[in-house]
Chain A
Amino acid sequence: MTGIRRGIVAAVLLILSGAAAWVVYRTNQQVVSGVTVVNPEGAGGKALVVYHPGLSDFQERVTGAFVAALVTRGWRVEQTTASSRAPTDLSGYDLLVVGGPTYWFTPAYSVRRYVARLGDLRGKPTAILITGAGAVSRSRSVMERQVRAAHGEIVVSLALTTMRPNDEAAMLAGEDNRVTAERMAGEAARRIPPSHP
């Protein structure tokens, strides 16, 4: 191999390693944001939604559909991203919603770290919203195990994907798989009864 050829191979490897390093950094990075209150007048109960938005808009869309459906059932929703600044005192909330995209076949690190910081959930009703490209079953069970280990009561556990059909019948009927995911998130949220009916 000549020196020039070796240099080119090294440059290509360097570019690909840089790309991989960027992905590792971005997927482990927490996103800090304030708390947004949706439906402040809602009297059905108080929900805290903590999620990692991810690199695409898929988690955001699914979480948005879930929140919108909670609001239709009268919930007051406080929404923020999983970071060191997200609320950890859950005493004022009737429902916890945690969600994040799947990276390296596990839920985003910032979400796992957030749940770990919560400590004992003392039977807090918890909804899990996992998204992923296709291989999401391991990611969902990792999140479920973590919530159960913290003594949370899982009321909803959803794993929605971009590549695998979320609903075979809807896909055959021509519905966009991402739209199906949003619809399923909304339906799941509507099944959670308000805490103060």
Chain B
Amino acid sequence: MRRLIPSQLSALRAAAAPLLGYAILQDRWGWAVAAFAFACLTDAADGYLARRFRAVSSVGAYLDVTADFLVALAGFAAFARRGVYPAWTLLLMIIMFAQFLVTSGGGRPVYDPVGKYYGAFLFVAIGATLLLEDFAVHAAVVAGLVGLTLASLASRSIHLLRQRRMDA
């Protein structure tokens, strides 16, 4: 039973995503920070508990990444709607998530070396945007997002090519 806890935490994180987006849109900053803090805590806890309960699985890994993606997408969509970030930042995130799904091919998830930091960056970006309301922070988030997206795409391509060569 307790082996299901990590996946349940990921599912709860995914459920917090609409609340985060709605709170930002409705100018409920307290609720937005609370929803975001909950997402961060469950993100830290699900991986730890999965290892501790020996419940690491591909399904759990996909659920974890999907929940992270939904939280980031909800946060950035709400920020974009309020004019904080340009709408194309959402497109970058969707492309990154789609390439993760496609290159993993439904089997064991393939994590590229830079991609591991991508999700963490998106979470830091949402936190910084909520807590440090400054145009310079926003500009740094957009610049960092573009840089990391390009680096992650390059690193994933190299990573997959090397894996293919090793398989061959």
Residues of chain A having any CB pair with chain B under 8 Å: 4-5, 8, 11-12, 15-16, 18-20, 22-24, 26-27, 54-56, 58, 101-105, 131-135, 161-165, 171, 177-178
Contact = CB atoms under 8 A, between A and B. Distances in A.
A178 B146 CA distance: 25
Nearest to B137: A133
Given A15-B144, A19-B144, A133 B114 contact: no
Contacts of B82: 162-163, 177
B84 interface: yes
B83 A58 contact: yes
Contacts of A24: 136
Contacts of B121: 16
A26 to B, nearest CB: 7
Nearest to A58: B83
A104 B139 CA distance: 11
B: contact size bracket: 20 to 34
A103 B134 contact: yes
A164 B84 CA distance: 11
A163 B143 contact: no
Given A4-B113, A8-B155, A19-B147, A103 B136 contact: yes
29 contacts: A12-B151, A15-B147, A15-B148, A16-B121, A16-B144, A18-B147, A19-B140, A20-B140, A27-B135, A27-B139, A55-B135, A56-B135, A58-B83, A102-B135, A103-B134, A103-B136, A104-B134, A104-B136, A132-B133, A133-B84, A135-B132, A135-B133, A162-B82, A162-B83, A162-B84, A164-B27, A165-B27, A177-B82, A177-B83
A139 to B, nearest CB: 9
A183 to B, nearest CB: 15
Given A102-B135, A135-B134, A12 B148 contact: yes
Contacts of B48: none
A150 B140 CA distance: 33
Given A24-B136, A163-B84, 18 more contacts: A4-B113, A8-B155, A15-B144, A15-B147, A18-B147, A101-B135, A103-B134, A103-B135, A104-B136, A105-B134, A131-B135, A133-B133, A134-B134, A135-B133, A161-B133, A164-B27, A164-B133, A177-B83
